[in-house]
């Protein structure tokens, strides 16, 4: 790898890494990341890391993508945020780009996936007030993850979250993923929507089946309720389609996007069909929503994803990563691998995931950044522009680590 372009690489002084004023919300290593390029990060000591985490699938085009940088620089010199009281050109262009390549008609821009999901919940409940006699309950799924606001935590099926900030926001019932009968048992007069991740990322990289997704769509049509797809992690090219729902023969009513749509900057989106887009002035908003700077970056991201052959390459590289992980699983007698596109997991068969994550980061001379959402598996979310050589290098590093723990 060439050293990340023209960014300074002088090690930080001890005072510069004094973190006492940063609020403690997660366990962080004593590292400060200072620069990045493509699939590589560099810390304040000059150590390089092969990044197969990419900000939890945020940096879909890798670090310091030239197209994104050019878009941001050009827009920053022109207009940053005229306020959401006015249209701006990038907001309009990105809205049209998203609706032209999906089954949706209307777009509301937000700043995070959780905010987009919060908006989807509000939109579904508003639609229920207007069309379903006040129906407000939303069926979600065990082990799902929809965000960290109170409502999206309540919607999530993450173990322990039901008591963390009790009381929860009421109105969310949990079914079992890929089990249509468990959903049927929960549908009632108060049901307004079913909300599902096409691939449960935080839940352990569990893809939904075609039979299940098409069954959900048929079920929602039968009961006249909405189908919401949360594509915050699985959307924007991650699975090899621009949107993950496009793997199935369905058209949802609402979709949420985050992470990859901004390629690393705070941008998210709530999309809805014309029939469902029932917000009126005062229902939804935000001072940063749809600002010109972030939506200009979003245009660059989506246009790069739509470039001829790009998504085909995501599919091919996803198959390569899958093959390599299956080979490793057989070699070390692990349980296997699963996923879709370039969102994949290696099932370890024992709770060595956190240890492997730490060992990978500390590996030298170059480190490796991976993730363990459950202790018995590893998750891989590389840049969609990752190279074959980088996939092979990651697997080589992973083999070295597994030999030390198996």
Q: Report the CATH number that the domain containing residue 264 is assigned in CATH.
A: 3.40.640.10
In 327-401 the beta strands, taken as DSSP E runs, fall at 336-340, 343-347, 367-369, 377-380
pLDDT recorded at residue 25: 79
Going by their DSSP bridges, the two strands 137-141 and 172-175 should be labelled as parallel
Among residues 305, 326, 358, which one ends one of the domains?
305
List CB contacts of 131: < 8 A, sequence separation 6 or more.
none
Read off the pLDDT of residues 89-104 as tens digits, 9 standing for 90 and up: 999 999 999 999 999 9
Do 38 and 70 belong to one domain? no
Do 199 and 284 belong to one domain? yes
Do 86 and 121 belong to one domain? yes
Positive/negative CA dihedral, 120, 338, 175, 216: positive
Do 301 and 318 belong to one domain? no
Q: Smallest Cα–Cα separation from 265: which of 43, 112, 98?
A: 112
Low-confidence stretches of the chain (pLDDT < 70) are 1-16, 406
User: Angle at Cα 187 formed by Cα 183 and Cα 192, nearest 5°?
Assistant: 110
Among residues 305, 323, 343, which one ends one of the domains?
305
Do 330 and 379 belong to one domain? yes
pLDDT recorded at residue 30: 85
Alpha-carbon distance 29 to 45, whole Å? 13
Do 190 and 248 belong to one domain? yes
| Domain assignment present for 249 | yes
Give the CA distances from residue 302 to residues 70, 231, 383, in Å, rounded to whole numbers and listed in that order.
14, 15, 14
Do 21 and 124 belong to one domain? no
| Domain assignment present for 394 | yes
Do 330 and 370 belong to one domain? yes
Do 54 and 80 belong to one domain? no
Alpha-carbon distance 232 to 113, whole Å? 6
In 216-297 the beta strands, taken as DSSP E runs, fall at 226-230, 254-257, 268-272
Read off the pLDDT of residues 28-41 as tens digits, 9 standing for 90 and up: 888 899 999 999 99
Q: How many separate domains does the chain show?
A: 2
pLDDT recorded at residue 8: 46
Among residues 288, 305, 322, which one ends one of the domains?
305
List CB contacts of 172: < 8 A, sequence separation 6 or more.
137, 138, 139, 140, 154, 155
| Domain assignment present for 186 | yes
Positive/negative CA dihedral, 320, 323, 327, 329: positive
| Domain assignment present for 7 | no
Do 349 and 231 belong to one domain? no
Both structure tokens of 249: 């023969």
| Domain assignment present for 179 | yes
Do 212 and 234 belong to one domain? yes
pLDDT recorded at residue 13: 55
- Contact between residue 22 and residue 34 where contact means Cβ atoms under 8 Å apart: no
pLDDT recorded at residue 170: 95
First to last CA, the chain: 30
Domain assignment of residue 169, given as a range: 66-305
pTM of the model: 0.94
| Domain assignment present for 138 | yes
List CB contacts of 326: < 8 A, sequence separation 6 or more.
336, 337
């Amino acid at each position: 790898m060439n050293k990340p372009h023209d960014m300074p690489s002088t090690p930080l002084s001890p005072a510069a890494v004094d973190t006492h004023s940063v609020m403690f919300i997660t366990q962080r290593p004593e590292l400060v990341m200072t620069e990045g390029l493509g699939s590589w990060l560099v810390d304040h000591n000059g150590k390089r890391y092969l990044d197969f985490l990419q900000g939890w699938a945020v940096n879909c085009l890798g670090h310091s993508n030239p197209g994104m940088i050019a878009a941001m620089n050009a827009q920053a010199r022109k207009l940053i945020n005229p306020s959401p009281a006015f249209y701006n050109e990038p907001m309009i262009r990105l809205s049209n780009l998203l609706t032209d390549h999906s089954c949706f008609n209307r777009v509301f821009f937000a700043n995070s996936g959780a905010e987009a999901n919060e908006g989807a919940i509000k939109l579904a409940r508003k639609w229920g007030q207007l069309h379903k006699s006040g129906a407000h309950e939303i069926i979600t799924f065990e082990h799902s993850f929809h965000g960290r606001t109170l409502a999206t935590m309540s919607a999530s099926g993450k173990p322990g979250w039901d008591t963390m900030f009790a009381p929860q926001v009421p109105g969310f019932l949990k079914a079992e993923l890929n089990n249509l009968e468990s959903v049927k048992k929960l549908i009632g007069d108060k049901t307004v929507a079913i909300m599902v991740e096409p691939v449960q990322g935080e839940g352990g990289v569990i893809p939904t089946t075609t039979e299940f997704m098409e069954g959900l769509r048929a079920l929602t049509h039968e009961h006249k309720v909405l189908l919401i797809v949360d594509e915050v992690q699985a959307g924007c090219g991650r699975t090899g389609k621009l949107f993950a729902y496009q793997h199935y023969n369905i058209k949802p009513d609402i979709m949420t996007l985050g992470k990859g749509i901004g390629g690393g900057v705070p941008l998210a989106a709530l999309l809805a069909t014309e029939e469902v887009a029932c917000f009126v002035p005062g229902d939804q908003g935000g001072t940063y929503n749809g600002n010109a700077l972030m939506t200009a970056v979003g245009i660059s991201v989506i246009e790069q994803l739509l470039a001829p052959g790009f998504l085909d390459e995501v599919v091919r590289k996803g198959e390569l990563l899958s093959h390599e992980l299956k080979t490793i699983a057989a070699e070390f007698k692990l349980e296997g691998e699963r996923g879709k596109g370039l969102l994949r997991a290696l099932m370890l068969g024992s709770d060595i995931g956190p240890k492997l994550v730490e060992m990978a980061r500390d590996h030298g001379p170059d480190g490796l950044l991976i993730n363990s959402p459950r202790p018995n598996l590893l998750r891989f979310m590389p840049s969609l522009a990752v190279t074959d050589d980088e996939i092979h290098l990651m697997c080589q590093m992973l083999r070295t680590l597994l030999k030390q723990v198996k």
